[in-house]
Amino acid sequence: MRNLLMIVSYDGTEYFGFQTQPGGNTVQDHLEAAIMQLTGEVVKIHGSGRTDAGVHARQQPFHVHTDSKIPVDRWRMALNGRLPADIRVTDVREVPLSFHARRLAKRKTYRFTINANRIPDVFTRRYQVHHPGRLNVESMREGLKHLIGTHDYTSFASRHSTKASHVRTIYDAWIEWDQSGSCSGSHEQGIIHIFMTGSGFLQHMVRIIVGTLLQVGEGKRKPEDMKRILEAKDRAAAGPTAESKGLMLWEVLYDEAGDEGTDLLERNETEQ
């Protein structure tokens, strides 16, 4: 038996998230079907975490055990030939049997994209939320800083979260503001990318943070309110959950050493 680590990129618009659901039509379902077509094996793949319906992934790792003799360098093209065009395997490598894509994930980065121009862009509309009102991006940057560190993020978690602990660590969070993309005049506000890197994220956590930050940008809340919201440990203290289409799993990093990292097991179980 071999253990293969693969990286998948997908446009989540048409899917009910990464992980298999009773209703079907998930990215995992399509990947497992493609592997079965290729090798004849019924397999269960293990993603780095879940993603909600409509969320995208630039690079999402998963691992799978296989008895297939197909050489590693053949898998990528063979699977892509059996997958829909909005799901692409971008890398395949063999890893030790002890490797686990979810348990050993050390750092995860998400990106949320807001189009703050007057007019939505038809070409990127599936990957960004249109928010044409005036936004104070510097206030949003200031508000975001209050969330960096190790905190109880209950205020920014779905009420349906079943986790015993809502303590997570956000290592870094920053905003990239692209004001060049506008083609229709100088009064445009451009594209705002909000990045967050952490040990793991609770259900809806990035989207609730973004929904609250947008209120800061609109002047409805002050940047320092983010600190007060954290301390409240109450979902009602935060703002609305931003639309899933703006969210993209950007990157997942593993330890070079590859130790078991059992402390990561619980915290990475349920993801955005």
- Residues with a catalytic annotation lie at 52
Query: Nearest approach, Cβ of 216 to a second copy (angstroms)?
Result: 26
Site size for a second copy (CB under 8 A): 24
SS3 145: helix
Cβ–Cβ < 8 Å for 213, 144: yes
Interaction between residue 15 and a second copy (CB under 8 A) = no
User: Rule CB under 8 A: is residue 86 a binding residue for a second copy?
Assistant: yes
* By CB under 8 A, residue 87 contacts a second copy: yes
Q: How many Å apart are CA 139 and CA 149, to the nearest integer?
A: 19
Contacting residue, 76, 107, 193, 222, with a second copy by CB under 8 A:
76
According to CB under 8 A, which residues from 145 to 184 bind a second copy? 183-184
Residues 159, 238 contacting (CB under 8 angstroms) = no
User: Around Cβ 200, how many Cβ atoms within 10 Å?
Assistant: 24
Burial class (CB in 10 A: 0-12, 13-18, 19+), 202: buried
Question: Residues near 77 by Cβ (< 8 Å), separated by ≥ 6?
Answer: none
On whether 153 is known to bind a ligand per the annotation, the reply is: no
CB of 217: closest distance to a second copy in angstroms? 22
Residues 93-152 touching a second copy, rule: CB under 8 A, are 119-125, 127
- Binding residues for a second copy, rule: CB under 8 A, are 9-11, 56, 58-59, 76, 80, 85-88, 90-91, 119-125, 127, 183-184
**Residues flagged as binding site for substrate:** 110
